[in-house]
Amino acid sequence: MSIILGFSNQHLPAFNNNWRRFLASGITLIILGALAISAATFATLVSVVVLGFLVFLGGIIMMADTFTFWRRKGSGFFLHLFFSLLYLAVGATLVINPVQGSISLTLLLGIFYIVVGAFRTALAPTLRTPQWGWAWFNGLITLLLGILIITSWPGSSLFIIGLFVGIDLVFCGLAYVMAALSARRSMA
């Protein structure tokens, strides 16, 4: 059984009828993104605290699973207990001290971008997909972002995450707006 995710003609009427909602959602996301960019430090701290709550909640769920399913199953119990305690500790640390959490997460983000950018830059000319130059350029930009983050770390830690969240919200909102305008035009 395969599931095909995508937009088909059967979705068109519902999409066209709701273009105003998509437009309003897009404008809201753009405004939220602009606010996150303009208050990047605040957005960073909020993002780290929310992530901390989610990780802590994951630890609670893992702990419940450890004592309900893994109890009396030997080494599996202790491994699950360890990971649930790790989740609880990391989540609590992010919530209690979001500044320190943002420093750690920014370092990991910079390292991640450097590794991903290097791989994309190296693989794009090798794979030669259609328009592979764009993939190579994307890898170069990702690599440069990682280098910029690492060279300005830890000073950049209080605004990088919020800035990236804001940029993502703006572009997500822009995609909603463009889709809504396209739906509106197709109805005319």
Give me the helices (H) in the chain, please.
Answer: 12-17, 19-38, 40-68, 75-96, 98-127, 132-151, 160-187
Two structure tokens written together for 160: 């990088």
Residue at 185: amino acid letter? R
Give 92's contacts (C-beta < 8 A, 6+ positions apart). 52, 56
Q: Which 3 state secondary structure label does DSSP give 10?
A: helix
* pTM exceeds 0.85, yes or no: no
List per-residue pLDDT tens for the chain, 188 residues long: 455 555 556 667 777 778 889 899 999 999 999 999 999 999 999 999 999 999 999 999 999 999 888 777 777 888 889 999 999 999 999 999 999 999 999 999 899 989 998 998 998 888 776 677 888 888 898 899 889 889 999 998 999 888 988 888 888 888 888 888 877 777 66
